Chain A
Amino acid sequence: MSGLIPFHDLVEALEAAPAERLFVTAWIDEDEQETLTFGEFRERARTQAGLLLQHGVGAGDRVVILMPQGVAAMAAFAGAMMLGAVPAFLAYPNFKVDTEKYRSGLAGVTANLKARAVVIDEEFPEEMLGHVSLGGETKLLRAADGGSKATKMLDARVQSEDVAFIQHSAGTTGLQKGVALSHAAVLRQLEHLSQALHLDPTTDRIYSWLPLYHDMGLIGCFILPMVCHVPVVMQSPVDWVMHPETMLQIISEHKCTLAWLPNFVFQFVPRRVPADRRREYDLSSLRALINCSEPVRTSSMVEFQKAFGVKSAVLQSCYAMAENVFAVTQSGLTQPPGQIWADGHHFRSAHRIVKVAEGTPGAVSFTSSGRLLPGHELRIEPDADAVAGDGAVGEILIQSDCLFDGYYNRPDLTAQTMVAGWYRTGDLGFCVDGELYVAGRKKDLLIIGGENVYPQDIEELVAAYPAVHDGRVIAMGVYNNDLGTEEIVVVAEVENEALLAHAAEVEQEIRSRIVGGLGVAVRTIVLKPPKWIVKSTAGKPARSATREKLMKEYPELNREEEVRSQ
């Protein structure tokens, strides 16, 4: 493909795909797989569109899709777009999450979207169904297996500037931020990205275990292949995480060429696949494994390369976010991404990159996320007292021809992040020789295995527990070298010191509340007597000062420097 995408909207792109070409293979295990051609997928999508049409869904209506990862969920999404409706995937309820919490999250998001319909699958848990709280205008629909197809649905052709779909991230905070993206913005992104990747629909094949409600899974592994007519082989995130070796099996059997993966995968997979089995897999078909959605760690990439012997140019990187549809930068595919070593003292105290030789004592290393895609601009905004210019570390601001217009129905949240046409990413980084290096985060956000988790959501759940002094809790992400990703650390003040004698029970209750509320597990809980957490001048718990105090008292928690210096 030349990279030129001649389509007016995403549905037109799907309609133009060769009917006989393979589109999606849903890989369950070696005995169970479902493969659809583009022609078959279109039929499935039309059936879903027919169901929505019967229930009065039309152009511009929001449709929430709550279905397990798979072909049916993708068909419902595409079917909604065929009607000019605006679909949004939300995370499927997992058994760990408390029903009440799930219900309130869903009620909030359907109310904010003013959704016309929520589409669920046949297997949607009964106990959850009783608690799906919807506004009066929202209908609950079971995805159609058969039924009539919508034949006259595209009479009112969508405008390319119309919203195509909405992306969310997880948790109470993430669900308030529906990123609304137009057909035109998505197509421009795919135009840039397909060129940067030298995408060839006749030879490329994408592998994915990424969730469809996440930008990497939605854009990289569903919308990009749908628009560029590239086959994709996917499995569910849960199946993959419980059997990480299956990733190698699928790539090997299906001769996949491209995949996007969060950083932790580059060491999680080698550590979970016994050395004597590694050579069973042929990964020579791979053109690029793109490290994306967590800060890129050189050590993780090296570990993967050593374990599986892939060419170093296969390991690539990218900086992406839903607000920009997906990618902002992409490393060049012919050589490994740039890597630099910088003086640790200058980096920490002056927020400046001063290059030093590899392995210099006290040096820190960074791996590049590549160069800006065409149509993109970037600005590094250093701290007030820092010097601007090449090598200055500061907040990354971006502008592009595929940037979102705002968070759906939330002009207040949009105003907090958009400044005169620039999007404040909340990430910290620097540029050297035209390449972007992401160095950390300014915003309070945890990225656990590639998924965004907002500390406020964790703190709210813990603060509601009577044994914890109300509001006196801080949640933070601390990098764990064994996992290659952040883990959640929670520090909480108990209501009175006597409770510290029952620390095990208090800890377990905190753990249960967090997993019940958000579905994520906490690795470390630190209980402290009252008045231990550092307060801000406004009297609120101060996250960064408390983190500093905690790391001083528990240096074993902080292995960042050790990792960076490897």
Chain B
Amino acid sequence: MTAQAQQMIEHIRQLIRKPNVMIDEDTPLVSSGLIDSMALVDVLLKLEDLTHMRIPAGKVQPKDLDSVAKMFATAQRVGKPRK
């Protein structure tokens, strides 16, 4: 696991206020109900921060953020370099 992925997992643990929940890169987060739609923006902002990319609205859907692995794959696919 990359350091970025580990940081994202830690961020998600804090976000959902469940420090003991087991999360790995493939744990379903949105489809399992661990993350609700109103928390997705916090995930996206962190993802932009960690990848130094900008992820445009309209190019990403909740299913693209369903696991930490998918988040980084999505950033690679649709992310643009920051201005």
Q: Is A108 an interface residue, CB under 8 A from the partner?
A: no
Q: Is A268 an interface residue, CB under 8 A from the partner?
A: yes
Partner of A521, one of B33, B42, B44, B61: B33
Q: Is the interface of B mostly helix, strand, loop or mixed?
A: loop
Report the count of interface residues on A (CB-CB < 8 A): 34
| Contact B58–A521 (Cβ < 8 Å) | no
Interface string of B1-38 (1 = CB under 8 A from A): 00000000000000000001100000000111111111
Q: Is B60 an interface residue, CB under 8 A from the partner?
A: yes
Q: How far is the CA of A372 from the CA of B46 in the complex (A)?
A: 45
| Contact A95–B31 (Cβ < 8 Å) | yes
| Contact B38–A483 (Cβ < 8 Å) | yes
With A235-B57, A238-B62, A246-B57 as contacts: A449 and B21 at CB distance below 8 Å: no
| Contact A449–B32 (Cβ < 8 Å) | no
Task: Work out how many contacts link A and B, with CB atoms closer than 8 A.
Answer: 76
| Contact B32–A515 (Cβ < 8 Å) | yes
- Nearest chain B CB to A516 CB, angstrom units: 8
Minimal Cβ-Cβ distance residue in A for B20: A504
- Nearest chain B CB to A510 CB, angstrom units: 9
Minimal Cβ-Cβ distance residue in B for A449: B38
Of the listed residues A30, A96, A244, A520, the one surrounded by the most CB atoms of chain B closer than 10 A to its CB is A96
| Contact A272–B41 (Cβ < 8 Å) | yes
Q: Is B77 an interface residue, CB under 8 A from the partner?
A: no
Q: How far is the CA of A523 from the CA of B21 in the complex (A)?
A: 14
| Contact B31–A241 (Cβ < 8 Å) | no
Interface string of A404-446 (1 = CB under 8 A from B): 0000000000000000000000000000000000000000000
| Contact B58–A95 (Cβ < 8 Å) | no
Of the listed residues A28, A243, A449, the one surrounded by the most CB atoms of chain B closer than 10 A to its CB is A243
| Contact A514–B44 (Cβ < 8 Å) | no
Q: How far is the CA of A520 from the CA of B34 in the complex (A)?
A: 10
- Nearest chain A CB to B57 CB, angstrom units: 4
| Contact B57–A241 (Cβ < 8 Å) | no
Partner of A243, one of B33, B35, B44: B44
Return the 9 tightest CB-CB contacts between A and B, nearest first: A521-B36, A515-B33, A28-B58, A511-B33, A243-B57, A29-B58, A95-B63, A29-B56, A521-B33
Chain B residues proximal to chain A, CB less than 8 Å: 20-21, 30-38, 40-42, 44-45, 56-63, 66
